Amino acid sequence: MMTIYESNGKALKVHETSAPLTGNCVWIDLLQPTAEEDKFVEDALAIDIPSRAEMREIEPSNRFYQERGAYFMTASIVYSVESPVPQTSPVTFILAGDRLVTVRYAEPRAFPLYLQRVEKGDAPCTTGASIMTGLIDAIVHRMADLIERIQDEVDRLAQAVFDLRGGVQTRNRRLDVLLKRIGKTGDNTARAEDSAASLNRLLLYFVQATQDREDDPRIRQRIKGAQRDINSLMDHTKFLSQRISFILDATLGMINIEQNQIIKLFSVMAVVLLPPTLVASVYGMNFRHMPELEWTLGYPWALGLMVLAAIGPIIYFRRKGWF
């Protein structure tokens, strides 16, 4: 779908796609574009629209380049931040003169959020470069929302891990669930960190592009402000990654402790039952000449020895604190 926006300096209005482009058409948004829509933009602006496969390339030379006077910048944008598993998708920004072309195959909420800010008069929309800065501000805002949600989840995980209650079976079930939650939170953090790093690289190229194009210096100031925000978010995601690793190590340590307790119990029981087994084995031998065979108290004697042989190790382990 192709949406063309024209600017009057203070607001954006949807331009009829069937009508020819005018000087006021500053933004062309291509959402899952068809071949015909790609060709229309290519003919109108004399540029080549990258394909979806080309947008997924990770080489910097394929993500940031200049061609026919237009600047191409691609970044992995995180979206669906409210869902349990946020997604990332590449979005390409093309600055061709005073126009901006965005190519995307997902629907990040940052785009309608930017349009809402434009309607309120809180975002610039005069040129393609100013629109791009507004979109990046909205993307950074959404990314911050995701990192805040991850922060809350990490706090809940830490409290759940270190405040476990209940018996052994209950704790084991909870630890199993916590491991899955930790894994999901770590994956979400990795997505946010990857998206922030990708956007930071885009901003570095964007600054250079505005200098080469001799755009308004105020745009570069806004880009540098976005860079500071992104760097702050990247530092916070690294902190969250380290904290998640600590929580994971603590959870695995608790699982090992539970397993060691079980193994310790079996070991102690084996040692406790070994002496009574020895007594029973001795009196279970079928030799003809055994003094206790004809003794009336032989059976109670054997039972008593087995009981005493079991009680002795238990008392010893209790004093040592092993059981």
Same domain, 93 and 222: yes
Same domain, 239 and 266: no
| Same domain assignment for residues 127 and 138 | yes
> Which has more pLDDT, 308 or 20?
308
* Residues forming a β-bridge with 14: 5
Confidence check: pLDDT of 290 > 80: no
Average pLDDT across the chain, whole number: 85
Looking at 258, 281, 305, the residue that finishes a domain is 258
**For residue 310, is pLDDT > 60?**
yes
B/e letters for 220-231, b = 16+ CB within 10 Å, e = fewer, are bebbeebbebbe
pTM of structure:
0.78
pLDDT at position 262: 72
Closest CA to 198 of 56, 36, 2: 56
Q: Of 91, 6, 99, 92, nearest to 46 (Cα)? A: 99
**Which of 241, 258, 275 is a domain's end point?**
258
CATH number assigned to the domain comprising residue 195: 3.30.460.20
Residue bearing the bigger pLDDT, 295 or 166: 295
pLDDT computed for residue 21 by the predictor: 76
Query: What is the spatial order of strands in the sheet that 25-31 belongs to?
Result: 12-15, 2-7, 25-31, 99-104, 87-96, 70-79, 64-67
Tell whether 299 and 248 lie within a shared domain: no
Instruction: Please give the pLDDT value at position 164.
Output: 67
266 vs 190, more confident: 190
* Parent domain of 161: 2-258
Is residue 166 pLDDT above 70, yes or no?
Answer: no
Q: Is the pLDDT of residue 147 over 90?
A: yes
Query: Quick one: 305 and 201 in the same domain?
Result: no
Going through the chain in order, the beta strands assigned E by DSSP cover 2-7, 12-15, 25-31, 64-67, 70-79, 87-96, 99-104
Q: What are the phi and psi torsion angles at 18 (to 5°)?
A: -75, -20
76-93 average pLDDT score: 90
Report d(CA 203, CA 103) in Å as an integer.
17
pLDDT at 316 over 80: no
121 or 102, greater pLDDT: 102
Contact 129, 99 (CB under 8 A): no
Looking at residue 235, what is its pLDDT? 93
Smallest CA-to-CA distance from 26 within 8, 40, 39 is with 8
Q: Which of 10-19, 100-109, 153-162, 244-253 has the highest mean pLDDT?
A: 100-109
Q: Which of 144, 148, 153, 125 is nearest to 26 (CA)?
A: 125
| 136 touches 102 (CB < 8 A) | no
Of 258, 275, 310, the last residue of a domain is 258
Residues 201 and 300 in one domain: no
- Give yes or no: residues 77 and 130 share one domain: yes
- Please say if the pLDDT value at position 186 is more than 80: yes
What distance in Å separates the CA atoms of residue 199 and residue 140, rounded to the nearest whole number?
A: 9
Between the CA of residue 284 and those of 270, 281, 287, 290, 305, what are the distances in Å? 20, 5, 9, 11, 14
Number of domains in the chain: 2
254 and 266 in a single domain? The answer is no
Higher pLDDT, 226 or 14: 226
Same domain flag for 23 and 100: yes
Angle between the 298-320 and 217-282 helix axes, to the nearest 10 degrees? 150
Q: Is the pLDDT of residue 17 over 60?
A: yes
At residue 7, what are phi and psi to the nearest 5 degrees?
-115, 140
* Residue 322 confidence (pLDDT): 63
Question: Is the per-residue pLDDT at 213 higher than 80?
Answer: yes
CB 1 within 8 A of CB 31: yes
**Who wins on pLDDT, 61 or 127?**
127
**Side chain identity at residue 75, one-letter code:** A
pLDDT at 206: 92
- The span from the CA of 309 to the CA of 274, in Å, is 8
Does residue 92 register a pLDDT over 90? yes
Q: Specify the pLDDT at position 253.
A: 83
- Sequence-distant (6+) residues with CB within 8 A of 273 are 310
- Same domain? 279 vs 206: no
d(CA 95, CA 201): 16
pLDDT band at 287 (very low <50, low <70, confident <90, very high): low
Q: Are residues 244 and 274 in the same domain?
A: no
Q: 172 pLDDT band (50/70/90 cuts)?
A: low
Contact 131, 115 (CB under 8 A): no
> Could you tell me if 14 and 70 lie in one domain?
yes
